[in-house]
Structure 1
Amino acid sequence: MTLTAALRAEWIKATSLWSTRVALAGYVLVVVAVSTGVAAAIGVEQARLDGAEYDPGVLAFYGLNFGHVAVIAFAVLLTASEYTHRTVHASLTAVPRRGVFLAAKVAVGAGLVLATAAVTAVVTLLATQAFMGEYAVGLATPGMLRATAAAALYPTLLAVVCMGVGLVLRDQTAALSLLVPLFFLVSPVLELVPGLQRAAVFLPDRAGQVALRLHDRPIDVFGPAVGLVVLAGWGAAALLGAWLLLRRRDA
């Protein structure tokens, strides 16, 4: 099967599954709702309290922290579920070239997340700034166009990491048991430990969040662009592991 045919097949699988559609819809709902709710409730007050340290990029896209759940769910459903339900045999029979199989699956998954995240980023920015009064920003504000682009690229690259993990572990429960605690427990806790703060910034989710910032923090050891590169590096490592495993053991 050619790459084009494999892409078409993966597109049909990804868009026909009820669970993946719910995950993407959930991402939009959670990110927009949480970000807008925070901006409406404490946005102006927080901006006043922070003063010169106020970072509109962080506040505008605050909901991305909670959108991780939907990104993880989508990525794991798209990858590990085929192994869990033993449908991967048919996929590998149809696409004997393992590199094509991997490339098609990741390309379709990343493309769907990117499209969803890009629309969500713009809607979220418009919705949150409606409640910010004198502190409202827009795409013309220095740094906000870059932060908005990062709000689309960050979840996309995070999805690539999660897809790689799903393809390595080949089990939905195992993948979720690793990724959810990592992003919602281990990573936040490490960032609170004084001696580990700088190291924690190199974790996938924290590196991506650096890209949303307009102002550097003392614990940030790299800037926004490098943050996305670090996150992409995690994704590349996860996909390399998945590819090597596919070459040695199909299913």
Structure 2
Amino acid sequence: MSAAIRSEFRKFFTTRLWWGMAIAVFLSGAAFATIVGLIFTSNALAGQAAGALPRTDADLAKAVYTGGIQIGYLLTLAIGIMMIGSEYRHKTITSTFLATPRRGRVMGAKVVTLLGIGAFYGVISLVGSVLAGAIILTLRGHSAFGDASIWRTLALSLLVLGLWALIGLGAGILIPNQVAALLISIGVAWIVEPILAAVLAIPAWGEHITPYLPSQATSATLGTMSAGINGQPVGQLSWWAGALVLMAYAAVMAGLGTWRTVRADIS
């Protein structure tokens, strides 16, 4: 297994994709932390839609530091898709399985590798967002690290990015065409699912479904608020329940993908 894991890491870090993604993750983390920090600490905004704004310095810091997490998990989602999709697209999956005939071991190595890659990009994102966010918060007179829950959020963001990479792995296998897998997965995660969450938050029965959607589970895991169409906060699970829900999505997607890969004929 260790040899297969090293092979998967080598496949990823010997391409130009990894540092291009690293730059994008760092810049997006810093940019969104700056934007969110300036907006949430604006005196003009403080008097409007107060119910949807962070109420404590700890909540404010968590919202600022994770302001770019949506872009971050979309990037790791794409990485998960490309890790397997590129192998099918370029027909290298055959040589991969020939080098390691036990397909379950190959897929296990990909799962471990993606968790590591997700954590790696999480660290890069946090470096950018914390540096920029802490400066904004300090200049605006707020505490940048005033509560222990902030550190928990930072640590859980690494887990979140790894889990979204596993969701991408499953999507990349279940949707054979790599381009289609990227477009459909990113479209659903970025546009369809957040809109669905906001719409479901309107009727009374919808509040029982919304917390279990992937984006809402992500927000709950990180301890950040998510607003509905009316601008008011949407009900969320506790951080540990949100993490379990997101783990379930990752397990189902990666599990289905692994099951299909193990059973499918490879030419």
Quick check: TM above 0.5?
yes
Distance in structure 2 (CA, Å) of the matches to 1:215 and 1:161 = 23
What secondary structure is seen at the aligned counterpart in 2 of 1:96? coil
Q: Which residue of the partner structure matches residue 244 of structure 1?
A: 259
Query: SS state of the match for residue 143, structure 1?
Result: helix
Q: Shift in Å at residue 28 of structure 1?
A: 2.1
Question: Alpha carbons of 1:18 and 1:197: their partners in 2 closer, same or farther (altered >3 Å)?
Answer: farther
Distance change (3 Å), C-alpha of 1:170 and 1:52: closer
Answering whether residue 201 of structure 2 is matched by residue 186 of structure 1, we say no
Compare 211-220 and 150-159 and name the one that shifted more.
Answer: 211-220
How many aligned positions are there?
247
How much is the aligned-residue C-alpha RMSD, in angstroms? Answer: 2.3
Q: In 2 relative to 1, CA 20–214 (structure 1 residues): closer, same or farther, beyond 3 Å?
A: closer
**Alignment check: 8 A CA contact 2:172 2:178 kept:** yes
Cα shift at 1:112? 1.6
Confirm whether residue 136 of structure 1 aligns to residue 143 of structure 2.
Answer: yes
Which of 91, 97, 112 aligns to 2:96? It is 91
Taking the aligned partners of 2:151 and 2:36, their CA distance within structure 1 comes to 21
Contact 2:216 2:226 in 1 (8 A): no
Change (3 A) 1:249 1:19: same
- 1:16-95 alignment runs, 5 A limit: 16-39=14-37, 41-45=38-42, 48-49=46-47, 50=50, 53=55, 55-56=59-60, 57-95=62-100
Separation of aligned partners in 2, 1:238 and 1:99: 15
> Deviation of residue 115 (structure 1)?
2.0
User: Which segments of structure 1 move beyond 4 Å, counting only runs of 4 or more?
Assistant: 214-218
- Per-residue deviation, 1:5: 1.4
Partner amino acid, structure 1, of 2:178: Q
Match of 1:151 in 2: 157
Larger deviation, residues 119-128 vs 161-170: 119-128
Distance (whole Å) between structure 1 residues aligned to residue 107 and residue 150 of structure 2: 34
Shift of 1:209: 1.4
What are the residue-to-residue correspondences of 1:94-173 with 2, within 5 Å? Answer: 94-132=99-137, 133-138=140-145, 140-173=146-179
Q: List runs of 5+ in structure 2 lacking aligned partners.
A: 228-232
Q: Is the 8 A contact 2:81 2:172 kept in 1?
A: yes
For residues 234 and 182 of structure 2, the distance between their equivalents in structure 1, rounded to whole angstroms, comes to: 29
Partners of 1:246 and 1:77 in 2: how far apart?
Answer: 15
**Residues 181 and 216 of structure 1: CA distance in aligned 2, closer, same or farther (over 3 Å):** closer
Q: Which one of the candidate residues 225, 229, 232 is aligned to 2:247?
A: 232
Q: Which residue of 1 aligns with 2:182?
A: 176
Take 2:154 and 2:148, find their aligned partners in 1: how far apart are those partners?
Answer: 11
Q: What is the SS of the residue equivalent to 2:147? A: coil
SS in 2 for 1:161: helix
Tell me, in whole angstroms, the C-alpha distance in 2 between the residues paired with 1:150 and 1:65. Answer: 14
Q: Is the 8 A contact 1:154 1:209 kept in 2?
A: no
**Whole-Å Cα distance in 2 between the matches of residues 163 and 114 of structure 1?**
15
Alpha-carbon deviations, 1:154-174, whole Å to 9, x = none?
111111111122123232112
Mapped to 1, the partners of 2:33 and 2:253 lie a distance apart of: 30
User: Is 165-174 or 207-216 further displaced after alignment?
Assistant: 207-216
Taking structure 1 as the reference length, the TM-score comes to: 0.88
State which drifts further: 47-56 or 121-130. 47-56
